[in-house]
Amino acid sequence: CGGTGLYIESLLANYQFSHVPHFLSEPLEIQFKYTVFGLNPSTDTRREKISTRFQARLKEGMLEEVQQLLFDGVHPEELRWMGLEYKWMVNYVEGLITKEEFEKGLETAIHQFAKRQMTYFRKMEKDGFTINWIDGELTTKQQAEIAMQIIGQAQ
């Protein structure tokens, strides 16, 4: 299992995994200087943004995309392997859960996952990785300006 934190840490620490799906058979190696940034909004803002984004993605055809992939021959297990949302969507499309179970369950699961991601990032910091946290309540322009200042200082 994994998530954003594990993916980032696996690249930065050059993890070697004993089993990966066939479509990820080539390891990636980072051989350059890097800077890690994280946005840190308030819990309420994070929850609101997650819910708003989830509803927008449903309206934009997220389920229809999965239906088409299955119709095109992608095996359900390959989609489930791609992550949390795909697992829930495939279960709904295959009739294993109701629409209400899908929508409420996936939204709750995404909120729980986001909380676990923050815990994972705190663990990364304890393990020696520097994460440059930027206030998630700032405008995108302000966040970009802060990131550019940090990058400028790192050079």
Q: Express each pLDDT in 49-76 by its tens digit.
A: 999 999 999 999 999 999 999 999 999 9
83-124 tens-digit pLDDT: 899 999 999 999 999 999 999 999 999 999 999 999 999 999
Q: What is the pTM of this model?
A: 0.76
Q: Where are the beta strands (DSSP E) in 10-80?
A: 36-40
DSSP state of 24: G
pLDDT at 96: 97
40-44, 73-77, 136-140, 150-154 — which is least confidently predicted?
150-154
Cβ atoms within 10 Å, residue 109:
14
Separation CA 95–CA 108 (nearest Å):
20
**And the tokens for 112?**
């729980």
Q: Give the dihedral sign, CA 72/78/83/86.
A: positive
Which amino acid does the sequence have at 34?
A: Y
Residue with token string 């393990």 = 127
pLDDT band at 1, cuts 50/70/90?
A: very low
Separation CA 63–CA 60 (nearest Å):
9
Nearest residue to 32 via CA among 14, 17, 7, 15: 14
